[in-house]
Structure 1
Amino acid sequence: MDNLTRLSNNPRRYAESFDVYWKLCRNVGAFEHWINSYFPEKIMKEINLERGNKLMALGIGSGPGQTEIKFLKQLLREWPEITDTVVEPDLSYINKYKDLAVKKTELIDGVSFEWRQQTLQQFRQENQNQPVKKYHFIMAIHALYFFEDLPDVLKYLISILEDGGMILAMISCDDSCTSQCYEQMPQFKKNAYAISTRDVEKALEKLQIQYVKHRIQVNMDATSCFDGESKEGELLLDFLTRSAFFKKNASESLYSDMIKHLRSIVLPESKDGKSLLRCDCDAIVITK
């Protein structure tokens, strides 16, 4: 009998499993290149705010900040004064973000942070009776999985976007390993909204909002998932299934089916005894 619980209900376990997932992404270099080169050269220029003016940024579900900070670093090249509102419900993540920001000396003079330990819903409710505060750049980096009503969330984000501003959302591709898990193993859909690029595109089309999509190729080393004694493998399985302590709580048949499924999507270019999975994501860019 399966007794699966949502990984998102256990912030500490979620943080541990995400850290393992990120560590095992093999070609993070491609991701870094996209942020450090492609983003400033091709995308950032679409923000219609005079260079030198103060830029208002907003992060939704910012996590420990390791990705958002990279974008802020690029934005500082054009806008040397930034106010960044960080909306993140997990206090441990906020503290990690704060620690990371202090270590990035290039941010100290340029970025002022406003820390909001809240969900997006709480943020909206708190501000609904206040004058509308708008932003030039809104980041939703792998955060849209937690919202059931995507059209409503996207409509809200667009409503608080300045004219000439930009929303950057990153989401798993339809053929990424996580999306395939939800597609092939419907048991996990109750533990997270099974959202991928196609769902965001449908929501934007419903709202008649134009967007541009960019594919970022990332593979992940899933070898430890096939080692029944690996603590790392257990954490990675938690992240892929969005289930806390999946190995412990899943029935023997479900655990076996999950391992069998992962073996079926191992990339043919895997080598050196490593089992690689495709974890590509899409960057969806919306300008106003």
Structure 2
Amino acid sequence: MEAPVNLLFSDFGLYVKTFEVYIERSTQHQCTKKFIDENLSDLVTSIGKKGASCLNVLGLGSGSGEMDLAILSKIQSQHPGLPIHNEVVEPLPQQISKYKDLVKEKGQGLNISFIWNQLSSEEYVKQNKERKESKKFDFIHMIQMVYYVESIHDTIKYFHSLLETNGKLLIIYNPDYTRFRSLSFELAGDHFVPDVQKVLDELRMKYQICKLSFGMDVTECFIEGNENGEHLLDFITHIAHFKKSVSADQKDAVLQQIRQPQFIKEENGQIILNRIMCAIVVDP
């Protein structure tokens, strides 16, 4: 082992940089946005208590806010004239800063107020319990954040308990996540993320699921010394400075895992990894 192995999330600056490369090299954002554009209007029509003066929305792991604003726009279009109180939970200050800039740029005309919480979901739960707060929400979303919580079971159970009578909980994640994180489980003490559907079944929750496919250009991962390829491998494995931190055999094993024939398409010199995304809507 050439260097100590650290999880990517231990270095916020590196995490943001690798995430940006990942988003540039994949169609994950476009896939998520397409789901929101095509499905969310119908899903949020029924939210909100009769005679309510506002709608309360909670975003967990909101990042830089692109998906949040798309969701909020859809909710407002289905409930015109009704103010929205939007609460953001995001641990990275860089992401909150980008989110605020996005609101200034694209939030004009939206009747939305924002509460900013620079906290992890666990810290948010702890804060609520210490303050004995149990505010209810009409819509809660957890987009690509279940990998970073200590217990997905406890997280889903707690935030589901905050739904209003007609509320909805949206969970979006990549079920093939653990296939690429196995090395970080082994080397850096990362935790195993259980299957979200299994957790929902154990909690006896009612839900609908939509499976979506998206692509990721991993060509640069196979070019020695390519900086973007190294950042992409960092994000895929969630090991900081992956190539410098693992043995040659471990690096080769991960690259072979990525390039399994059943998951890739090679054409015009590009290697495209086919991935799956699940969007789950949970009823109260």
User: Which TM-score applies when normalising by structure 2?
Assistant: 0.90
Report whether the alignment pairs 1:180 with 2:179: yes
Q: Which secondary structure state, in structure 1, belongs to the residue aligned with residue 270 of structure 2?
A: coil
Structure 1 residues 78 and 151: CA distance shift in structure 2, 3 A: same
Displacement of 1:28 after TM fit? 5.1
Number of the residue aligned with 1:38: 39
In the other structure, the counterpart of 2:158 is 156
CA distance in 1 between counterparts of 2:276 and 2:51 reads 33
Q: Percent identity?
A: 28
User: Compared with structure 1, are the counterparts of its residues 95 and 206 closer, same or farther at alpha carbon in structure 2 (3 Å cutoff)?
Assistant: same
Q: Is the 8 A contact 1:179 1:195 kept in 2?
A: yes
2:136 is aligned, of 129, 134, 137, to 134
CA RMSD, aligned part only? 2.2
Describe the shift of the 1:67–1:37 C-alpha distance in structure 2 as closer, same or farther (beyond 3 A).
same
More moved, 138-147 vs 2-11? 2-11
3-state secondary structure, aligned to 2:77 = coil
Alignment length (residue pairs): 280
- Residue aligning to 1:124: 125
Whether 2:210 is the aligned partner of 1:214: answer yes
CA distance in structure 2 between the aligned counterparts of 1:14 and 1:220, rounded to whole angstroms: 18
Deviation of 1:27 after TM superposition, in Å, equals: 7.2
Written as runs of structure 1 = structure 2, the 5 A alignment for 1:1-288 is 1=1, 3-26=4-27, 29-41=30-42, 43-50=43-50, 53-80=53-80, 81-106=83-108, 108-128=109-129, 129-173=131-175, 176=176, 178-182=177-181, 185=183, 187=185, 190=188, 192-195=190-193, 199-265=195-261, 267-288=263-284
Q: Is the 8 A contact 1:10 1:244 kept in 2?
A: yes
C-alpha deviation, 1:134, in angstroms:
0.8
Query: Secondary structure of the residue that 2:204 maps to in structure 1?
Result: coil
Cα gap change, 1:56 to 1:22, in 2 (>3 Å): same
Per-residue CA deviations over 1:90-146 (Å, capped at 9, x if unaligned) read 11111011111111144x541111001111222122222334211100010011111
| Shift in CA distance, 227/37, structure 1 to aligned 2, threshold 3 Å | same
**Contact 2:90–2:120 under 8 Å retained in 1:** yes
Secondary structure, in 3 states, of the residue corresponding to 2:14?
A: helix
Whether the aligned pair in 1 keeps the contact of 2:140 and 2:163 (CA below 8 Å) is yes
Gaps of 5+ in 1: none
Cα distance change on mapping 1:47 and 1:151 into 2, 3 Å: same
Structure 2 residue matching 1:67: 3-state secondary structure: helix
Q: Which runs of 5+ in 2 are unaligned?
A: none
Distance in 2, matches of 1:51 and 1:216, equals 36
Give, in whole Å, the separation in 1 of the partners of 2:279 and 2:55: 21
Corresponding residue SS for 1:217: strand
Once residues 28 and 87 of structure 2 are traced to their aligned partners in structure 1, the CA distance between those partners, rounded to angstroms, is: 30
- Quote how far apart the aligned CAs of 1:35 are: 1.3
Aligned counterparts of 2:74 and 2:51: Cα–Cα separation in 1: 13
Give, in angstroms, the shift of residue 26 of structure 1. Answer: 3.9
* Counterpart-to-counterpart distance in 1, 2:21 and 2:27: 12
Q: Is the 8 A contact 2:181 2:238 kept in 1?
A: no
> Residue 51 and residue 109 in structure 1: after superposition, are their counterparts in 2 closer, same or farther (change >3 A)?
farther
Supply the AA of the counterpart residue of 2:180: C
Q: Name the CA shift for 1:93/1:191 in 2 (closer, same or farther; >3 Å).
A: farther
1:207 offset after TM fit, Å? 1.3
